[in-house]
């Protein structure tokens, strides 16, 4: 790293993988917490000789470079102080900036076999991780999950004592064997008896050393009944939720859970119970040949990969279970347990490290999730081919969860481009494609962050920071929050009618109002209720005739209105005497992101009956 690159790095103060410490003459004591935190999360860079004051950074330099480096290597190699040194000699380097010396220490993400990296001799009290607030001490449960992931012994290989073939759901097992036979009609395993076949696929285990045999965890997960599974795996839970066309804001349009008692509740049946629900209304045709898809599109294959990925890589001993959600053109796959490789490695492909190797084997033998090490890579490839918004992978802690979000939405939707054209006119042509993507994302998703834009345009944090800064300089974006918590919103330019094409906006508003009148006439039970209308008007009167309104007051009023009844954008604009585009970009999108408001149609942003509702529910 040279001087220019270092200065760019410290200016990128949103980077969660950077820590600056003054350290003129001695190693700072808290350096080792950061070392542990970076190693146990996604890696990062520590800069010694940089002082932070508020949100500003100053190069102070390190005066005793030789002493500090000697102390650093001495401590990191002392197993009584630090559990493991995962650095190479080249990971610590000295950089000169304005004739001052700065020490840069690069800390990689530790391999799962090395984690946890901890201070002292006790991992339970000396393990740290990193989030957007900085370093934090891990809970005992987090440490135990890391210790469990160290082993190359797959968690689903465990043999269950006293479990026999009588403990599996016979119908599930027979369906699996039938599917296997259709796919592999000449396979030598077809004629094996049930126990031997189960042994070959990983559902039955034999421990010759201890003379023990029985059903494996994998066999129980794939073919067991839910009430038997939860005896061995207490946190086990499968949940499919769908809400796309229902106007009932309190219930799911369709829901399948492992514990409802109407089916086996195992992961094999869960997969086939919901896969068609996930893909049935995607506007890409496919055909069936017998019971096996032979002429799928790449999109259907990608959805199968995403669902299989959640089931194969889940930590079934982790909390909150597997949750699959569908909202029209928005899909969310969430499973307990963090990735066993980095997100970048998963997207790049080529590395296979499933948490449940036997579950992976059983699915792959029937043609599901068989892309070893390239499933996520393929999903990204397919989404790129469709010009859809890039998939998003999120790793959460406390508890550990991996979330994949798929949106079947164009990266540059026509309606969003129209809004930009109406607002910017000819100035739109002067923007780069990356800048346009950033503005569209801020419009469609309510906000944009450095991390999210990195995913959308495949550029690093520093490059993205320059793009966002350019849009701020052009007064197209504004910021909220500081440093790692910074979010970017559309600027007030999008709230001024003088910047908009009045004819197109008025035409759109008239169209919405006509539709609203039609809806109101057919829905007398709500909109003809004088008490409700009077209540709405009284709430809105709090800011009547006020051009400037305090941000928090406006948000409170919007929440009050949307608590009375679901409010369309046009209704809010009329009641509050505000421009609809400005209301959405400055208030509504933000409140949705904060889970204070929710959409009546979460996965269909442009649904003709879209409305906002105050969210009083608890997760």
Degrees to nearest 5, angle at CA 311 with 303 and 238 = 100
The answer on 173 and 115 residing in a single domain is no
Q: What is residue 197's predicted lDDT score, i.e. its pLDDT?
A: 96
Do 267 and 383 fall within a single domain?
A: yes
Same domain, 279 and 294: yes
Has residue 114 got a pLDDT over 50? Answer: yes
pLDDT score of 524 more than 70:
no
pLDDT greater than 70 at residue 509 = no
The span from the CA of 594 to the CA of 358, in Å, is 40
Contacts 24+ apart (CB under 8 A), 551-554: 554/587
Residue 505 within a domain: no
Domain-ending residue, one of 223, 252, 282: 223
Instruction: Return the CATH number at 600.
Output: 1.10.10
Q: Cβ distance 17 to 38 under 8 Å?
A: yes
Domain of 523 in residue numbering reads as 512-614
Question: Percent of the chain beyond pLDDT 90?
Answer: 41
Model confidence at 619, pLDDT cuts 50, 70, 90, reads very low
Inter-axis angle of helices 375-385 and 298-313, to 10 degrees? 150
Q: Based on the domain organization, do 77 and 177 belong to the same domain?
A: no
| Secondary structure of residue 330 in the 3-state scheme | strand
Whole-number pLDDT of residue 371? 61
Tell me how far CA of residue 167 lies from CA of 64, 157, 282, 619, in angstroms.
67, 17, 38, 34
Q: Which of 28-42, 102-116, 465-479, 515-529 has the lowest mean pLDDT?
A: 515-529
Whether the Cβ atoms of residue 91 and residue 107 lie closer than 8 Å to each other: yes
C-alpha to C-alpha distance for 87 and 84, rounded to whole angstroms: 9
Q: Assess if residue 355 is contained within a domain.
A: yes
The domain that holds 351 is classified in CATH as 3.30.565.60
User: Which range has the worst mean pLDDT, 3-17, 196-210, 387-401?
Assistant: 3-17
More confident site: 16 or 457? 457
pLDDT of residue 14 exceeding 60: no
- The DSSP 8-state label assigned to residue 424 in this structure reads H
457: domain CATH number is: 1.10.10.10
With CA atoms as reference, report the closest residue to 320 among 236, 243, 397, 244.
236
Closest to 559 measured CA to CA, from 533, 594, 531: 594
pLDDT at 587: 85
126-149: per-residue pLDDT in tens? 999 988 668 899 999 899 989 988
pLDDT band at 498 (very low <50, low <70, confident <90, very high): very low
- Do residues 362 and 461 both lie within one domain? no
Residue 599 lies in a domain: yes
Final residue belonging to a domain, choices 204, 223, 242: 223
Residues 434 and 397 in one domain: no
15 assigned to some structural domain: yes
Residues 69 and 89 in one domain: yes
Banded model confidence at residue 40, pLDDT cuts 50, 70, 90: very high
Read off the pLDDT of residues 274-316 as tens digits, 9 standing for 90 and up: 999 988 877 664 444 554 544 568 888 899 999 999 999 999 9
Q: Are residues 585 and 604 in the same domain?
A: yes
Instruction: Report d(CA 612, CA 559) in Å as an integer.
Output: 9
- Average per-residue pLDDT for the chain: 84
* Together in a domain, 132 and 207: no
Could you say which DSSP state residue 115 is in?
P
Residue 271 pLDDT grade (very low, low, confident, very high; cuts 50, 70, 90): very high
Q: What is the pLDDT of residue 518?
A: 47
Angstrom distances, CA of residue 282 to CA of 136, 376, 481: 42, 20, 38
Average pLDDT over residues 21-41: 91
Q: Which residue has the higher pLDDT, 389 or 84?
A: 84
pLDDT tens for each residue of 572-586: 888 888 877 678 877
DSSP character at residue 13: T
Clarify whether residues 69 and 190 are in a common domain: no
CATH code for the domain in which residue 76 is found: 3.30.950.30
569 within 8 A of 294, measured Cβ to Cβ? no
Instruction: Indicate the Cα dihedral angle 338, 231, 305, 339, nearest 10°.
Output: 10
| Domain final position from 181, 200, 223 | 223
| The two three-digit tokens of residue 87, written as one number | 């650095």
Confidence band for 370, pLDDT divided at 50, 70 and 90: low
Give yes or no for a contact between 44 and 5, defined as CB atoms under 8 angstroms apart: no
* Total number of domains constituting the chain: 5
Q: Answer yes or no: is pLDDT of 22 > 90.
A: no
Residue 359 counted as domain residue? yes
Residues 256 and 350 in one domain: yes
- What radius of gyration, in Å, describes the C-alpha atoms of the chain? 28
| pLDDT tens digits for range 213-250 | 999 999 999 999 999 999 999 999 999 998 864 344 55
Measured CA angle at 301 (ends 299, 305), to 5 deg: 115
Task: DSSP letter for 516, please.
Answer: H
> Rounded to whole angstroms, how far apart are CA atoms 352 and 342?
12
Q: Is 329 among the domain residues? A: yes
């Amino acid at each position: 790293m040279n001087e220019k690159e270092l200065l760019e790095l410290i200016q990128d103060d949103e980077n969660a993988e950077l820590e600056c410490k003054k350290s003129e003459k001695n190693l700072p004591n808290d350096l080792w917490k950061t070392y542990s935190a970076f190693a146990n999360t996604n890696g990062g860079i520590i800069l010694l000789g940089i002082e932070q004051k508020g949100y500003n950074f100053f190069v102070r330099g390190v005066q005793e470079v030789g002493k500090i480096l000697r102390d650093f290597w001495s401590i990191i190699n002392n197993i009584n102080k630090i559990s493991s040194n995962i650095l190479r000699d080249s990971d610590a380097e000295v950089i000169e900036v304005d004739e001052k010396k700065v020490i840069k220490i690069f800390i990689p993400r530790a391999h799962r076999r090395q984690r946890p990296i901890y201070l002292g001799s006790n991992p339970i009290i000396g393990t740290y991780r990193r989030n957007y607030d900085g370093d934090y001490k891990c809970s005992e449960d987090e440490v135990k999950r890391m210790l469990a992931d160290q082993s190359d012994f797959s968690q689903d290989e465990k043999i269950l004592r006293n479990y026999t073939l009588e403990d599996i759901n016979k119908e599930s097992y027979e369906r699996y064997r039938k599917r296997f036979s259709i796919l592999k009609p000449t396979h030598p395993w077809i004629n094996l008896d049930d126990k031997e076949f189960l042994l070959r696929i990983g559902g039955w285990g034999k421990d010759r050393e201890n003379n023990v045999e029985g059903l494996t965890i994998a066999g129980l997960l794939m073919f067991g009944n839910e009430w038997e599974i939860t005896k061995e795996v207490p946190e086990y839970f499968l949940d499919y939720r769908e809400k796309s066309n229902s106007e009932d804001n309190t219930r799911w349009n369709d829901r399948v859970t492992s514990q409802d008692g109407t089916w086996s509740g195992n992961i094999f049946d869960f997969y086939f119970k919901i896969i068609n629900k996930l893909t049935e209304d995607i506007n890409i045709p496919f055909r069936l040949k017998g019971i096996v898809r032979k002429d799928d599109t790449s999109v259907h294959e990608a959805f199968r990969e995403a669902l299989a990925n959640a089931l194969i890589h889940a930590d079934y001993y982790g909390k909150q279970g597997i949750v699959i959600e569908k909202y029209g053109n928005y899909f969310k796959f969430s499973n307990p347990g963090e990735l066993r490789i980095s997100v970048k490695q998963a997207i790049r492909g080529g590395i296979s490290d499933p948490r449940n190797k036997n579950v992976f084997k059983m699915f792959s033998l029937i043609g599901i999730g068989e892309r070893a090490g390239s499933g996520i890579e393929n999903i990204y490839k397919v989404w790129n081919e469709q010009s859809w918004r890039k998939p998003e992978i999120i790793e959460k802690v406390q508890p550990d969860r991996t979330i994949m979000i798929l949106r079947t939405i164009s990266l540059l939707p026509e309606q969003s481009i129209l809004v930009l054209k109406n607002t910017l006119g000819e100035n739109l042509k002067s923007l780069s494609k990356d800048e346009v993507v950033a503005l569209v994302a801020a419009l469609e998703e309510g906000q944009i962050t450095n991390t999210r834009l990195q995913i959308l345009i495949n550029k690093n944090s520093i490059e993205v920071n320059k793009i966002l800064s350019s849009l701020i300089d052009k007064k197209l974006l504004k910021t909220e929050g500081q440093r790692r918590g910074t979010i970017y919103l559309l600027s007030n330019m999008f709230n001024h009618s003088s910047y908009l094409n009045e004819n197109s906006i008025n035409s759109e508003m008239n169209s919405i109002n006509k539709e609203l009148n039609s809806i109101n006439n057919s829905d007398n039970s709500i909109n003809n209720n004088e008490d409700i209308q009077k209540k709405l008007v009284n709430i809105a009167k709090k800011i009547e005739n006020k051009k400037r309104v305090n941000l928090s007051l406006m948000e409170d009023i919007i929440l009050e209105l949307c608590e009375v009844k679901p409010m369309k954008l046009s209704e809010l604009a009329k009641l509050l005497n505000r421009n609809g585009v400005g209301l959405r970009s400055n208030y509504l999108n933000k409140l949705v992101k904060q889970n204070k408001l929710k959409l009546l149609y979460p996965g269909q942003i442009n649904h003709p009956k879209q409305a906002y509702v105050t969210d009083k529910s608890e997760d």
